[in-house]
């Protein structure tokens, strides 16, 4: 699970049939992952998040479950919006 800030959107006019109707957001992880090739990730928005919000992102096979469609080609899914970002503690 990753905590990050939504910094933008992605518009796709053509996409996999299993992804039709989904909104894609660009998330900047709060703690940079050492093994990540890029700092930002694109995630399917499953909770109605918006730009500037702090979100929880499930990755890997858990992302497909979080999106409610285990056959979708999804690697990251926003599954929650943080209510009080001031109380986040990163150790």
Q: Name the least confident of 35-39, 46-50, 84-88.
A: 35-39
pTM for the complete prediction? 0.82
> Measured between alpha carbons, how far is residue 62 from residues 7, 58, 74 in Å?
23, 6, 9
Burial of 6 (C-beta count, 10 Å sphere; 0-12/13-18/19+): buried
80-87: average pLDDT: 85
The structure tokens listed for 52 are 């500037």
Q: Name the least confident of 21-30, 42-51, 61-70.
A: 61-70
Q: Is residue 34 very low, low, confident or very high in pLDDT (cuts 50, 70, 90)?
A: low
| Residue that the structure tokens 């986040």 belong to | 88
Dist CA 57 CA 78 (whole Å): 4
Q: Which domains does the chain have, with CATH numbers?
A: 2-87 (2.40.50.220)
């Amino acid at each position: 699970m990753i905590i990050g800030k939504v910094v933008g959107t992605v518009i796709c006019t053509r996409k996999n049939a299993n992804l039709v109707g989904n909104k894609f957001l660009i998330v900047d992880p709060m703690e940079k992952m050492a093994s990540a090739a890029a700092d930002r990730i694109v995630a399917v928005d499953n909770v109605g998040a918006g730009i500037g919000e702090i979100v929880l992102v499930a990755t890997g096979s858990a992302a497909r479950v979080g999106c409610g469609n285990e056959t979708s080609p999804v690697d990251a899914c926003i599954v929650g919006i943080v209510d009080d970002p001031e109380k986040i503690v990163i150790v």
